[in-house]
C-alpha cells in the first residue's frame, strides 16, 4: 500500500506513517490515558475524604486504582505526550521530511496503543495490578501475593508494560537515527533547537533505561508465567535484584519525562521573552551532564535496604550533586526574563508555572537525597508530594507546549482568555492538591485510611484534585472551541519564533517543505535543487504552499497497513500469554513441584488458542512487512555528524544493538548478582558437561564465518555462493538449537526444570533468552534466502546482508560470555 487516503477517513489513520499524523495519534491517545488515569485518581481521592475512608472503594479496589493510576500516568500518558509533540515538531525543526524509519514510527505507535488497551482490559480479567507502579519484589509474583497478583489481569498489566517498552525502544532508535543523520545542511549539533536537544537526550536515556526495565520485566514475567524463582526465591538478594534493575530505570525516567518539557520551556522562554536564551551553550552542557548523571543516582531509592553505609553516602553525594546543573538552567531562565521583554501568553504562563513547580519539587527532593532524612520521609506522603511536583511540573510544560504548537498543528488559533483561565484554575488546583501532602507527610503512602488528625489536609487535597480536573476540562474546551470556530492561524503567530517549523504553512504539507531547507549560509533558506536557487527563510509564501501541495499529491511512500497488523498480532499474543500461568502450574505440579502459595488454578483453553492465533498473525504480517516495497523520504544532503560514514539503516541497527547489550547485560548481571549473594561456590553449574557447551560455541562461531562469506558473495553478485553461505548459517543455527535442546532434555530427564530452584531458573532463562535471539536470527536468514531465490535480492545491494551479520555476530558474542559463566565457573 502506498497511497495515503484523505485525513477525513478512518483508513488514513490506520495506514499512515507520516510523522505528523503519528504525532497526532500519540497526542490523542495520551490525552485519553490522562482522562482514564485522572478518573481513577478522582475515585481514590473521594475515598480518602474521611480518615477511615468513605467506603467508595474496597481495600483491593483502592490498591488497584492507585496502582493503575500510577502506571497510566507515568508510562501511558506523560512520556507518550512528549513523544507526540516530538513526532510532530522535531523533523520540522531539523529540516527533515520525516523520521528516518516511518514504518517503524507507525509500529511504535501501534505497540503503544495496543499496550494501553491491554492494561485497561486487565480490569476485566479478574483483579488487575494492585501492588504499586514500581512493582516491588517479592509482592510482584504470585507465590507471595496470590490474592492480588495471581490473576490474568495482573499478568496482562506486566505484559502491556513490556509491549510499551518495545514501543519506546523502536521510537528511541528512530529518533536517534533521525536527529543524528537527517539534520538540514548547515545545522550543527550546537545549533539544534533546544526542544530537539531535549528530545535527543531523552531518547538516549530511553535507549538504556528502558532496556534495563525490559530485562527486569522479562525476569518478572518468567516468574509469573513460567514460575521461575528470580524474585520469589528465598535466597538473600532476591528483592534487592528487582530494586536495582527497576530503579536503574526509574530515576532516569524522571528526566526522560522532564527533558522534553524542559526543551519546551526553553523554546517558549526564548519566544515570549523576545531574545536568545542566556548562556545557551552552558545550558546544553548542563542538560548533557544531567542525562549522564541520571544513571548514577538510582540507589538513593534503596536507602532503607541493607546496602552498606559507604555506598549510601556515595549515592547521597551524586543525588544532591545532580541539582547543580539544574541550578544553572534556572538562573539562565531568570536572566532571560530579566533581559527580555516578557509577553504573558498562555504557553508562557504554563511554562513559567512549570518552572516554579519544578523548583519546589527539586528543593523537597534534596531532603530525600540525604540518608538520615530519607529514613524519616521514605514511604510517606512527603514522597508523594515531591514526586508529583517534579513529574506534573513536566506535564504543565507539556500542556504549554500543546498550546504553543496548536496553531501549527491545526491551523487554528484559540481564545487567550480561556487559555489563561485554564492556567489559573490549573495552578490553583495543582497546589491545593499536592502542597497539603507535605503538611500531612506523616501519612503512610498507598494506604486507604489515615489518622484523623490528617483529615483536613486530605480534604484540601481532594478538593484540589477536582479543581485540577476542572482545569483539564477547560483546556479541552479551549482547544475544542478553537477547532470548531477558531480563527485561522498565520504561519508564525508568535512573532519571535525562530525555529524552522514556523517557516512552513499551518498546518504543514505532507512532506513539510516545498524545497530543501538549508542553513549553509548561516540562515534558514529553501534550496531548489532542480534550479540551484535559494529563497530566504521566514514565513512560507502561498506560492511555496501551493507547490508543496502538488508535491504531496505525487508522493507515494507514507502509507502501510502492516505496522497496524503487527500491532494486532502482538496484542493477541500477549493477551493469550496473560492466562498461561495455570497451565504451567499444572504442568509443574504434575512433575512433583511443590509450589508455594495458590499458584495452580482453573485453565482456560481460550488463552493458549489466542497465543497461537497471535503467533499466526505476527508471522503473516511480518512476512508481508518484509516483502512490501516502501521507500522512505530521504535526505541526500544533510548533516550527519558523528555518523557521516555510516548508512541510515546501519546506524539504526547499531542503536538497537546498543539497547540489546543492556538487556543481556542486565540479565547476565542478575545471574552474577544472585550468585554473589548466595555464595559463588555454593551454586553448581547446571549443565552436566562443559563439552556440550564447547561444541555449541564452535558451531555458533563457525556460523559467523559463513555470514561473512555470505556478505562476500553478495558483494560479488554470486547468487549460488550467497545461497550456500546463508544456507550454511541457517543449518548451523538449527544445529546449535538442536544441541541446546538435547542439553535441556537431559536436565528434564533428571527431574530438573526451570521452576526447580534458583540456579536452574537462571540457567534456563538466560540461555533461553539467547536461544530466542538465535531463533529470530534464523527467521530473518530464512526470509533472506526466500528473497534471494524469488527476486535475486541483495546481489546489487548487499547492505541487508551486512546488517543481518551485525545482529548475528552480536548473538555470537553474547554466547561467548554465557559459555564460561554457565559451563566453566
Cβ of 45: how many Cβ atoms within 10 Å? 23
Q: Which of 491, 497, 498 is nearest to 545 (CA)?
A: 491
Here the cell at position 562 is: 502492516
Q: Residue 359 falls within a domain, yes or no?
A: no
Measured CA to CA, the distance from residue 239 to residue 313 in angstroms comes to 21
Q: Helix, strand or coil for residue 580?
A: coil
Measured CA to CA, the distance from residue 99 to residue 178 in angstroms comes to 6
Q: Are residues 16 and 153 in the same domain?
A: yes
Measured CA to CA, the distance from residue 640 to residue 299 in angstroms comes to 37
- Listed in sequence order, the residues at least 6 apart from 424 whose beta carbon sits closer than 8 Å to its beta carbon are none
Q: Are residues 724 and 618 in the same domain?
A: no
Cβ of 223: how many Cβ atoms within 10 Å? 28
Here the cell at position 161 is: 508494560
Q: Are residues 606 and 746 in the same domain?
A: no
Measured CA to CA, the distance from residue 113 to residue 61 in angstroms comes to 25
Measured CA to CA, the distance from residue 163 to residue 168 in angstroms comes to 9
pLDDT at 635: 84
Q: How many helices (H) and strands (E) does the chain have?
A: 26, 3
Domain with residue 650: its CATH number is 1.20.210.10
Q: In this structure, are residues 264 and 400 in contact, taking their beta carbons and an 8 Å threshold? A: yes
Q: In this structure, are residues 413 and 493 in contact, taking their beta carbons and an 8 Å threshold? A: yes
Q: In this structure, are residues 804 and 784 in contact, taking their beta carbons and an 8 Å threshold? A: yes
Q: Which of 631, 636, 634 is nearest to 557 (CA)?
A: 631
Phi–psi pair at 535, nearest 5 degrees: -115, 150
Q: Are residues 697 and 575 in the same domain?
A: no
Quote the number of domains for the chain.
Answer: 2
Q: Which of 23, 28, 29 is nearest to 84 (CA)?
A: 23
Q: Are residues 714 and 817 in the same domain?
A: yes
Q: Residue 769 falls within a domain, yes or no?
A: yes
Q: How far apart are the first and last CA of the chain?
A: 53
Q: Are residues 227 and 112 in the same domain?
A: yes
pLDDT at 632: 87
Q: Is the alpha carbon torsion for 484, 486, 488, 489 positive or negative?
A: negative
3-state SS record for 37-89 = HHHHHHHHHHHCCCCCCCCCCCHHHHHHHHHHHHHHHHHHHHHHHHHHHHHHH
For residue 639, give the DSSP letter. B
Cβ of 311: how many Cβ atoms within 10 Å? 12
User: How do residues 59-114 score in pLDDT, each as one tens digit?
Assistant: 889 999 999 999 999 999 999 999 999 999 999 999 999 999 999 999 999 999 99
Strand partners of residue 380:
444
The CB-based long-range contact list for 417-423 (8 Å cut-off, 24+ gap) reads 418/474, 418/477, 418/478, 418/481, 419/345, 419/346, 419/478, 420/346, 420/349, 421/474, 422/346, 422/471, 422/474, 422/475, 422/478, 423/346, 423/349, 423/350, 423/353, 423/471
CA angle, residues 440, 132, 43, in degrees to nearest 5: 65
Q: Residue 663 falls within a domain, yes or no?
A: no
Domain final position from 605, 633, 654 = 654
According to DSSP H, which parts of 539-605 are helical? 542-554, 562-577, 581-590
Whether omega for the bond prior to residue 138 falls within 30 degrees of 0, making it cis, is yes
Here the cell at position 636 is: 541526500
Domain final position from 654, 676, 705 = 654
Q: Are residues 645 and 769 in the same domain?
A: no
Q: Which of 159, 141, 228 is nearest to 610 (CA)?
A: 159
Q: Are residues 602 and 709 in the same domain?
A: no
Measured CA to CA, the distance from residue 733 to residue 770 in angstroms comes to 12
Measured CA to CA, the distance from residue 173 to residue 334 in angstroms comes to 35
According to DSSP H, which parts of 182-308 are helical? 194-221, 238-273, 280-293
Domain final position from 654, 676, 710 = 654
For residue 527, give the DSSP letter. E
Q: Are residues 638 and 771 in the same domain?
A: no
Task: Please report where in the chains the cell 482490559 appears, as a residue.
Answer: 121
Cβ of 748: how many Cβ atoms within 10 Å? 11
Written as one string, the DSSP assignment of 418-454 is HHHHHHHHHHHHHHHHHHHHHHTTTSBTT-S---GGG
Between helices 323-339 and 309-321, what is the axis angle to 10°?
10
**Domain of residue 60, residue span:** 1-256+495-654
Measured CA to CA, the distance from residue 216 to residue 219 in angstroms comes to 5
Q: Residue 812 falls within a domain, yes or no?
A: yes
Q: Residue 362 falls within a domain, yes or no?
A: no
Cβ of 649: how many Cβ atoms within 10 Å? 16
Q: In this structure, are residues 469 and 42 in contact, taking their beta carbons and an 8 Å threshold? A: yes
pTM: 0.95
Here the cell at position 156 is: 496482562
Q: Residue 388 falls within a domain, yes or no?
A: no
pLDDT at 532: 55
- Provide the phi-psi class of 193: left if phi over 0, else alpha when psi is between -120 and 50, else beta: beta
The CB-based long-range contact list for 784-790 (8 Å cut-off, 24+ gap) reads 784/726, 785/723, 785/726, 785/727, 785/730, 787/626, 788/719, 788/722, 788/723, 788/726, 789/723
Q: Are residues 623 and 696 in the same domain?
A: no
The CB-based long-range contact list for 307-315 (8 Å cut-off, 24+ gap) reads 307/240, 309/371, 312/371, 313/371
According to DSSP H, which parts of 275-380 are helical? 280-293, 309-321, 323-339, 346-369, 371-377
- Listed in sequence order, the residues at least 6 apart from 261 whose beta carbon sits closer than 8 Å to its beta carbon are 82, 198, 354, 393, 394, 395, 396, 397, 398, 401
Q: Residue 361 falls within a domain, yes or no?
A: no
According to DSSP H, which parts of 679-718 are helical? 690-716
Helix (H) or strand (E) holding 509: none
Measured CA to CA, the distance from residue 506 to residue 494 in angstroms comes to 13
Q: Spell out where 398-529 has E strands.
A: 516-518, 525-528
Point out the residues of the chain with pLDDT beneath 70: 1-2, 143-150, 234-237, 531-556, 596-601
Q: Helix, strand or coil for residue 228?
A: coil
Q: Residue 363 falls within a domain, yes or no?
A: no
Here the cell at position 276 is: 536568545
Measured CA to CA, the distance from residue 22 to residue 588 in angstroms comes to 45
Q: Is 767 exposed, middle or buried (0-12, 13-18, 19+ CB in 10 A)?
A: buried
Cβ of 55: how many Cβ atoms within 10 Å? 8
Q: In this structure, are residues 432 and 508 in contact, taking their beta carbons and an 8 Å threshold? A: no
Q: Are residues 726 and 605 in the same domain?
A: no
Q: In this structure, are residues 440 and 454 in contact, taking their beta carbons and an 8 Å threshold? A: yes
Q: Are residues 624 and 729 in the same domain?
A: no
Measured CA to CA, the distance from residue 51 to residue 629 in angstroms comes to 63
Amino acid at each position: 500500500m502506498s497511497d495515503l487516503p484523505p485525513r477525513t477517513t478512518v483508513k488514513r489513520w490506520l495506514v499512515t506513517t507520516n510523522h505528523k499524523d503519528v504525532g497526532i495519534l500519540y497526542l490523542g491517545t495520551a490525552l485519553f490515558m490522562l482522562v482514564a488515569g485522572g478518573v481513577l485518581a478522582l475515585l481514590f481521592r473521594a475515598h480518602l475524604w474521611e480518615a477511615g475512608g468513605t467506603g467508595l472503594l474496597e481495600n483491593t479496589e483502592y490498591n488497584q486504582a492507585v496502582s493503575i493510576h500510577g502506571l497510566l500516568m507515568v508510562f501511558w500518558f506523560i512520556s507518550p505526550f512528549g513523544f507526540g509533540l516530538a513526532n510532530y515538531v522535531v523533523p520540522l525543526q531539523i529540516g527533515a521530511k520525516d523520521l528516518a524509519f516511518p514504518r517503524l514510527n507507525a509500529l511504535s505507535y501501534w505497540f503503544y496503543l495496543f499496550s494501553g488497551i491491554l492494561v485497561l482490559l486487565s480490569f476485566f480479567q479478574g483483579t488487575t495490578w494492585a501492588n504499586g507502579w514500581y512493582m516491588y519484589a517479592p509482592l510482584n509474583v504470585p507465590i507471595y501475593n496470590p490474592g492480588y497478583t495471581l490473576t490474568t489481569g495482573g499478568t496482562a498489566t506486566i505484559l502491556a508494560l513490556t509491549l510499551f517498552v518495545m514501543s519506546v525502544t523502536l521510537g528511541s532508535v528512530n529518533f536517534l537515527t533521525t536527529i543524528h543523520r537527517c539534520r538540514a545542511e548547515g545545522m550543527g549539533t550546537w545549533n539544534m533547537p533546544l526542544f530537539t536537544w531535549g528530545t535527543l537526550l531523552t531518547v538516549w536515556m530511553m535507549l538504556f533505561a528502558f532496556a534495563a526495565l525490559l530485562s527486569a520485566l522479562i525476569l518478572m514475567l518468567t516468574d509469573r508465567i513460567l514460575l521461575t524463582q528470580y524474585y520469589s526465591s528465598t535466597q538473600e538478594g532476591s528483592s534487592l535484584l528487582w530494586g536495582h534493575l527497576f530503579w536503574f530505570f526509574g530515576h532516569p525516567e524522571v528526566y526522560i519525562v522532564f527533558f522534553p518539557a524542559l526543551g519546551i520551556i526553553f523554546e517558549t522562554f526564548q519566544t515570549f521573552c523576545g531574545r536568545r536564551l542566556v548562556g545557551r551553550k552552558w545550558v546544553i552542557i548542563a542538560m548533557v551532564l544531567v542525562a549522564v548523571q541520571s544513571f548514577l543516582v538510582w540507589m538513593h531509592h534503596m536507602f532503607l535496604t541493607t546496602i552498606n553505609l559507604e555506598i549510601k553516602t556515595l549515592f547521597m553525594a551524586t543525588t544532591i550533586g545532580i541539582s547543580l546543573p539544574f541550578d544553572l538552567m534556572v538562573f539562565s531562565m531568570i536572566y532571560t526574563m530579566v533581559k527580555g521583554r516578557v509577553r504573558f501568553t498562555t504557553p508562557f504562563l504554563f511554562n513559567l508555572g512549570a518552572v516554579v513547580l519544578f523548583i519546589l519539587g527539586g528543593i523537597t527532593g534534596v531532603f530525600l537525597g540525604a540518608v538520615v532524612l530519607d529514613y524519616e520521609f521514605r514511604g510517606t506522603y512527603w514522597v508523594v508530594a515531591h514526586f508529583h511536583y517534579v513529574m506534573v511540573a513536566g506535564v504543565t510544560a507539556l500542556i504549554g507546549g500543546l498550546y504553543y504548537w496548536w496553531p501549527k498543528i491545526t491551523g487554528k488559533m484559540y481564545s487567550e482568555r480561556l487559555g489563561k483561565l485554564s492556567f489559573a484554575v490549573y495552578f490553583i488546583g495543582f497546589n491545593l492538591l499536592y502542597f497539603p501532602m507535605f503538611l500531612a507527610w506523616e501519612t503512610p503512602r498507598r494506604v486507604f485510611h489515615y489518622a484523623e488528625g490528617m483529615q483536613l489536609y486530605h480534604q484540601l487535597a481532594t478538593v484540589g484534585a477536582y479543581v485540577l480536573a476542572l482545569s483539564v476540562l477547560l483546556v479541552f474546551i479551549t482547544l475544542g472551541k478553537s477547532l470548531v470556530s477558531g480563527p485561522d492561524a498565520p504561519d508564525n503567530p508568535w512573532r519571535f519564533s525562530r525555529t524552522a517549523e514556523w517557516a512552513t504553512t499551518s498546518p504543514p504539507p505532507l512532506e513539510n517543505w516545498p524545497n530543501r531547507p538549508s542553513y549553509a549560509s548561516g540562515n534558514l533558506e529553501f534550496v531548489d535543487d532542480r534550479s540551484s536557487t535559494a529563497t530566504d527563510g521566514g514565513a512560507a509564501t502561498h506560492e511555496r504552499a501551493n507547490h508543496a501541495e502538488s508535491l504531496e499529491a505525487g508522493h507515494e511512500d507514507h502509507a502501510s497497513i502492516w505496522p497496524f497488523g503487527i500491532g494486532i498480532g502482538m496484542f493477541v499474543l500477549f493477551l493469550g500469554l496473560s492466562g498461561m500461568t495455570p497451565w504451567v502450574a499444572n504442568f509443574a505440579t504434575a512433575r512433583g513441584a511443590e509450589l508455594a502459595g495458590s499458584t495452580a488454578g482453573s485453565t482456560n483453553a481460550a488463552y493458549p488458542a489466542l497465543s497461537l492465533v497471535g503467533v499466526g498473525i505476527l508471522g503473516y504480517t511480518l512476512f508481508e512487512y518484509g516483502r512490501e516495497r516502501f521507500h522512505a523520504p530521504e535526505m541526500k544532503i544533510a548533516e550527519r555528524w558523528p555518523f557521516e560514514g555510516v548508512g541510515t539503516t546501519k546506524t539504526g541497527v547499531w542503536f538497537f544493538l546498543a539497547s540489546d547489550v543492556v538487556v543481556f547485560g542486565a540479565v547476565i548481571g542478575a545471574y552474577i548478582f544472585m550468585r554473589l549473594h548466595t555464595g559463588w561456590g555454593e551454586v553448581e553449574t547446571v549443565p552436566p558437561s562443559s563439552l556440550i557447551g564447547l561444541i555449541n560455541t564452535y558451531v555458533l562461531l563457525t556460523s559467523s564465518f559463513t555470514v561473512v562469506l555470505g556478505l562476500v558473495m553478495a558483494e560479488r553478485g554470486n547468487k549460488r555462493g550467497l545461497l550456500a553461505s546463508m544456507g550454511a548459517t541457517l543449518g548451523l543455527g538449527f544445529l546449535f538449537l538442536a544441541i541446546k535442546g538435547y542439553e535441556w532434555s537431559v536436565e528434564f530427564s533428571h527431574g530438573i526444570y526451570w521452576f526447580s530452584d534458583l540456579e536452574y531458573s537462571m540457567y534456563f532463562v538466560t540461555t533461553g533468552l539467547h536461544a530466542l535471539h538465535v531463533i529470530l536470527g534464523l527467521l530473518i536468514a530464512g526470509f533472506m534466502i526466500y528473497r534471494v531465490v524469488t527476486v535475486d535480492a541483495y546481489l546489487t545491494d548487499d547492505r541487508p546482508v551486512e546488517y543481518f551479520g551485525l545482529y548475528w555476530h552480536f548473538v555470537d558474542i553474547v554466547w561467548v560470555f554465557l559459555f564460561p559463566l554457565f559451563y566453566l565457573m
